[in-house]
């Protein structure tokens, strides 16, 4: 099923970076819609609090530690996910780090490499490992940003631009399996990462992450809005 009549009840969905911010909001929304969740993060204590909320909503949850800077951790996480579920009807690649901001031409090379390892390279590795587990006609959401390719955002902007390019490539390569690969830009949200990037901003002037989950849910339900969508414009005529 697709569109408003579709359901996520019983769908197995992976959410990376689910311990806080947008990932936590997505996990809680999916739980409320009946999905069965596989949640990853590096901070398992914080992730356990999200798990508690999801279980309170009636969702089954599997927690998997994941450090995207470590190839061994990525491989171990993929193996753990494969043991936990026979397939995934949905994947939300939300994990990421901000890294140092500034002109990419002067950003420390080591810091750039560390940021790209989380925001792009580790994500490519995880998706490669999970590809056999992702069901035909599944939805795959790559969480992007207004910073993608934007001057002054250093390795974060470079990583998000790379992630969007990855989405375009996988969208074509997996089209024969009916897999929808969509980059979702949530826009400004009231998160710790946003506060780090914009310390001068009043958090009350931006919406909470829970107000930006609608396009993610729609893609996982079967909607294909195209390769990239703006969450802030979702549902507007």
| DSSP category for residue 145 | -
Q: What is the mean pLDDT of each run of 10 residues along the chain (237 residues)?
A: 67 98 98 98 96 96 97 98 97 96 94 97 98 98 97 96 98 98 96 90 92 98 97 82
Which residue among 92, 156, 159, 182 is the active-site one? Answer: 156
Is 156 among the catalytic positions? yes
pLDDT of residue 5: 53
Question: How remote is the C-alpha of 227 from its chain's centroid?
Answer: 15
pLDDT of residue 1: 33
pLDDT of residue 237: 46
pTM score, whole prediction: 0.95
Q: What is the CA radius of gyration of the chain?
A: 17
Round to whole Å and give the CA distance between 177 and 72.
28
Going along the chain from its start, the domains and CATH numbers come out as 3-232 (3.40.50.720)
Terminal Cα-to-Cα distance of the chain (whole angstroms): 23
Other CB atoms within a 10 A radius of the CB of residue 132 amount to 9
Angle between helices 122-130 and 71-84 (to 10 degrees): 30
Could you give the percent of the chain with pLDDT greater than 70? Answer: 97
pLDDT of residue 96: 96
pLDDT of residue 153: 95
Round to whole Å and give the CA distance between 179 and 181.
6
Judged by DSSP in three states, 167 sits in helix
Q: What is the tens place of the pLDDT at every residue in 115-152?
A: 999 999 999 999 999 999 999 999 999 999 999 999 99
pLDDT of residue 7: 83
pLDDT of residue 58: 94
């Amino acid at each position: 099923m697709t569109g408003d009549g579709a359901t996520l009840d019983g769908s197995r969905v992976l959410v990376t970076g689910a311990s806080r911010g947008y990932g936590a909001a997505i996990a809680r929304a999916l739980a409320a819609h009946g999905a069965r969740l596989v949640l990853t993060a590096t901070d398992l204590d914080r992730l356990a609090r999200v798990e508690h909320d999801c279980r309170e909503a009636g969702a089954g949850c599997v927690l998997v530690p994941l450090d995207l800077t470590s190839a061994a951790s990525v491989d171990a996480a993929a193996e753990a996910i494969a043991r936990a579920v026979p397939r995934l009807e949905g994947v939300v690649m939300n994990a990421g780090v901000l890294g140092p901001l500034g002109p990419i031409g002067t950003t420390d090379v080591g810091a750039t490499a560390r940021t790209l390892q989380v925001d792009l390279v580790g994500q490519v590795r995880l998706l490669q490992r999970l590809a056999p587990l992702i069901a035909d006609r599944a939805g795959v959401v790559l969480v992007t940003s207004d910073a993608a390719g934007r001057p002054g955002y250093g390795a974060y902007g470079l990583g998000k631009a790379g992630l969007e390019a990855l989405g375009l490539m996988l969208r074509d390569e997996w089209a024969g399996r009916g897999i929808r690969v969509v980059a979702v830009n949530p826009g400004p949200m009231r998160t710790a990462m946003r506060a780090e990037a914009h310390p001068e901003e009043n958090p009350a002037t931006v919406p909470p992450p829970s107000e930006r989950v609608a396009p993610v849910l729609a893609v996982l339900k079967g909607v294909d809005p195209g390769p990239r969508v703006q969450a802030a414009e979702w549902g507007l005529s």
